[in-house]
Amino acid sequence: MSNHSKAKKPLSDRRKFILNMARGVGYAAIGGMVWSAYLEEAKASPLVLRPPAAIKENDFLKTCIKCGLCVEACPYDTLKLAKPGDQKPIGTPFFTPREIPCYMCEDIPCVPVCPSGALDEASVTVDGHLDINVADMGLAVIDENSCVAFWGIQCDACYRACPILGQAITVEYSKNERTGKHAFMKPVVHADACTGCGMCEQACVTEKPAIFILPREVAMGKAGSHYIKGWDKKDEARLKDAHAIHTTTNVSRKKAVDKLNAGFEGLLDE
Amino acid sequence: MNKIWNNYRYLILRRFTQIGILILFFGANAWGWKILEGNLSTSKIFGIIPMSDPYAVLQMVAAGAVVATDLLLGVAVVTLFYFFVGGRAFCSWVCPINMVTDSANWLRRVFDIDRAQLQKQPIGRNTRYWVLGISLIVSAVMGLAAFEFISPISMLHRGIVFGIGFGWAAVLIIFVFDLFVLKNGWCGHICPLGGFYSLLGKFSFIRVHHIEENCTLCMKCKVVCPEKQVLHMIGKESIPVLSGECTNCARCIEVCDDDALKFSIRDLIQNKKTGE
């Protein structure tokens, strides 16, 4: 009965307002966090291949307005807008080279129509003219285990299909030691020339392509600034951004010479 | 025949614009028509006049994107139109989800689901403004346009133009939600785009106007209205519907048998008032 006897004052309007706002903020926080968690998963698609001249993936995701004008401009139906269920960031343009590769139109119709700047015309413009050969959609990667040319079977399908023939893919000759009298004619991809158009992937004769396009960030490693091609002036430029990390331990606190002159005292104890 | 036209004239016109816009978009992608290219996020009329979804661009700004001039021009075109002319007309005259929620609403009336659910609605109509606010915060935190990633509106219109994938599931969820869970649940309570246009269209010129002397208090208008709180003046005073939440769908006008509701221009009304 104590609940009844203890007469409760009705809540003041101010208190009601504050409590309601607090409840709203609570709901908003829950909703916002669930929403963010979903987005974190939904935007993660490291293997997606973008149209030519696409800006960096992180910027692309915030800049592309998903209008599909690039898709409509593509004369080969290469580009698609990601649908729910495609497991790619929804509504953004991508292509699947094994199905339809990028045919590298000289006038690059998909790029100038982009209203948002997610496809950056400047990145495929050389001396005031559009040049699809400098596009970077990805990089062809060869699986030497399933590529029949590495078995010794003659196949140059990817080499022939390459629109930058002789530059992005070359064929390397070597002796087939197994038979002793035949040659290997192995395809080699050159990262500096390859645009990632995917014509090679589409042309590949194996059941699942032995040469395929991956986004450059996925396909390539990074040497870092502690390895420099000393014979290459351009490569040395990378040192500009380099910064050393200094680690001090008990051993390195003194100069090496002092340490040696001190007769290794205490060095072995550590 | 005349009666059907009279009772459904705006509904027929709205379906005409909603479906017509989708057909033009579809034709642009499928057959290369140049009348209306793109989709509701951003489009070009005759390859010249740009249009962009101002709410999508607002999210992009929150996400920290560099917004291109083309988009800003498109935003200006759309914003000026709805701000001065259309009000929240996007929701009832353009948005394809409107056909989904209208049909859910119609079924509610046919099966009398409204009467079976007299208990208090679980969420209020201000929820959409909260969702609008959260969408901008989430956009800023996650660095992408948050609502564009989950928008059933985009999934549907993009789906119709470019292929829908599993997008139909999102549309079905909204249909079932509106049918069984909450009357006018999506368009009238949750959709942040509707909330955005409610704020943007608050001052537009085209308004529904109530003529109290003609009203017989039959309340047919309140039965069909998807935002019936905006019709608070029915049978009370002759004033225009000034709430931005009115979608200018004009269902109230066509169901009214007593000529107590009509479209008019805001300025003229005010002149009339001062003249009286």
Confidence bin at B4 (pLDDT 50/70/90): confident
pLDDT of residue A135: 93
pLDDT of residue B181: 87
**Cα separation, A32 vs B137, whole angstroms:** 8
Domain map of chain B by residue range?
2-199, 205-275
pLDDT of residue A5: 53
The CA distance from B139 to the nearest CA of chain A, in Å, is 9
Among chain A, residues having any CB pair with chain B shorter than 8 Å are 24, 27-28, 31-32, 35-36, 38-40, 42-43, 58-59, 61-63, 65-69, 71-72, 80-81, 83-86, 89-91, 115-117
Q: Which of B262, B214, B223 is nearest to B241 (CA)?
A: B262
The CA distance from A31 to the nearest CA of chain B, in Å, is 8
φ, ψ for residue A126 (rounded to 5)? -125, 125
A117 contact residues in B (CB cutoff 8 A): 66-68
| A1 pLDDT above the threshold of 50 | no
SS (H, E, C) chain A: CHHHHCCCCCCCHHHHHHHHHHHHHHHHHHHHHHHHHHHHHHCCCCCCCCCCCECCHHHHHHHCCCCCHHHHHCCCCCCEECCCCCCCCCCCEECCCCCCCCCCCCCCCCCCCCCCCCECHHHHEECCEECHHHCCCCEEEECCCCCHHHHCCCCCHHHHHCCCCCCCEEEEEEEECCCCCEEEEEEEECCCCCCCCCHHHHHCCCCCCCEEEECHHHHCCCCCCCCCCCCCHHHHHHHHHCCCCCCCCCCCCCCHHHHHHCCCCCCCCC
> Is B65's CB within 8 Å of A62's CB?
yes
pTM: 0.84
Higher model confidence: residue A209 or residue B112? A209
Q: What topology does CATH give the domain B205-275?
A: Alpha-Beta Plaits (3.30.70)
Does residue B178 sit at the A interface (CB-CB below 8 Å)? Answer: no
A74 contact residues in B (CB cutoff 8 A): none
What are the pLDDT digits (tens) for B51-79? 999 999 999 999 998 899 989 999 999 99
| B267 pLDDT above the threshold of 80 | no
Task: Average the pLDDT over each of A116-120, A215-219, A253-257, B164-168 and give the range with the smallest value.
Answer: A253-257
Does residue B60 sit at the A interface (CB-CB below 8 Å)? Answer: yes
> Comparing A46-135 with A138-220, is the CATH topology the same?
yes
Q: Classify domain A46-135 by CATH architecture.
A: 2-Layer Sandwich (3.30)
- Quick one: how many helices (H) and strands (E) in chain A? 9, 8
pLDDT of residue B276: 37
Picking from B35, B138, B141, B164 by the largest number of A CB atoms within 10 A of its own CB, the best residue to mutate is: B138
**Cα separation, B152 vs B169, whole angstroms:** 9
> Is A72's CB within 8 Å of B159's CB?
no
pLDDT of residue A237: 82
Confidence bin at B120 (pLDDT 50/70/90): low
pLDDT of residue A253: 74
Confidence bin at A264 (pLDDT 50/70/90): low
B154 contact residues in A (CB cutoff 8 A): 66, 90-91
Does residue B28 sit at the A interface (CB-CB below 8 Å)? Answer: yes
A28 contact residues in B (CB cutoff 8 A): 130, 133-134
Does residue B265 sit at the A interface (CB-CB below 8 Å)? Answer: no
The CA distance from A117 to the nearest CA of chain B, in Å, is 6
- Give the count of beta carbons closer than 10 Å to the beta carbon of residue A111: 24
pLDDT of residue A190: 95
B residues 211-230 closer than 8 Å to A (CB): none
Alpha-carbon distances of A53 from A50, A70, B163, rounded to whole Å:
8, 11, 24
- CATH of the structural domain A138-220, one choice from 3.30.70.20, 1.10.357.140, 3.40.30.10, 3.30.460.40: 3.30.70.20
Which chain B residue's Cα is nearest to A85? B166
Confidence bin at A9 (pLDDT 50/70/90): confident
Confidence bin at B274 (pLDDT 50/70/90): very low
Higher model confidence: residue B3 or residue B82? B82
The CA distance from A22 to the nearest CA of chain B, in Å, is 13
Report the residue from A38, A66, A86 with minimal CB separation from B148: A66
| A240 pLDDT above the threshold of 90 | no
| B11 pLDDT above the threshold of 60 | yes
A111 contact residues in B (CB cutoff 8 A): none
**Cα separation, B185 vs B170, whole angstroms:** 14
Over range A123-134, report the average pLDDT: 93
Over range B11-15, report the average pLDDT: 94
Domain map of chain A by residue range?
46-135, 138-220
**Cα separation, A140 vs B87, whole angstroms:** 52
pLDDT of residue B275: 43
Higher model confidence: residue A1 or residue B245? B245
Q: pLDDT above 90 covers what percent of chain B?
A: 61
A68 contact residues in B (CB cutoff 8 A): 29, 38-39, 158, 161-162
> Is A116's CB within 8 Å of B148's CB?
no
Confidence bin at A98 (pLDDT 50/70/90): very high
Mean confidence (pLDDT) of chain B: 89
A39 contact residues in B (CB cutoff 8 A): 138, 142, 144, 146, 149
> Is A62's CB within 8 Å of B143's CB?
yes
Confidence bin at A6 (pLDDT 50/70/90): low
pLDDT of residue B247: 93
Confidence bin at A226 (pLDDT 50/70/90): confident
> Is A65's CB within 8 Å of B56's CB?
yes
Q: Which of A128, A135, A126 is nearest to A103 (CA)?
A: A135
Over range A108-124, report the average pLDDT: 94
B70 contact residues in A (CB cutoff 8 A): 115-116
> Is B38's CB within 8 Å of A31's CB?
no
Q: pLDDT above 70 covers what percent of chain B?
A: 94
pLDDT of residue B166: 86
Contact, A211 vs A187, CB < 8 A? yes
Side-chain half-sphere exposure of B166, counting CA atoms within 13 A: 7
What are the tokens at B217? Answer: 């208090």
A96 contact residues in B (CB cutoff 8 A): none
| A13 pLDDT above the threshold of 50 | yes
- Residues in contact with A22: Cβ distance below 8 Å, sequence separation at least 6, in sequence order: none
pLDDT of residue A4: 55
Over range A158-162, report the average pLDDT: 95
> Is B170's CB within 8 Å of A84's CB?
yes
Over range B188-207, report the average pLDDT: 92
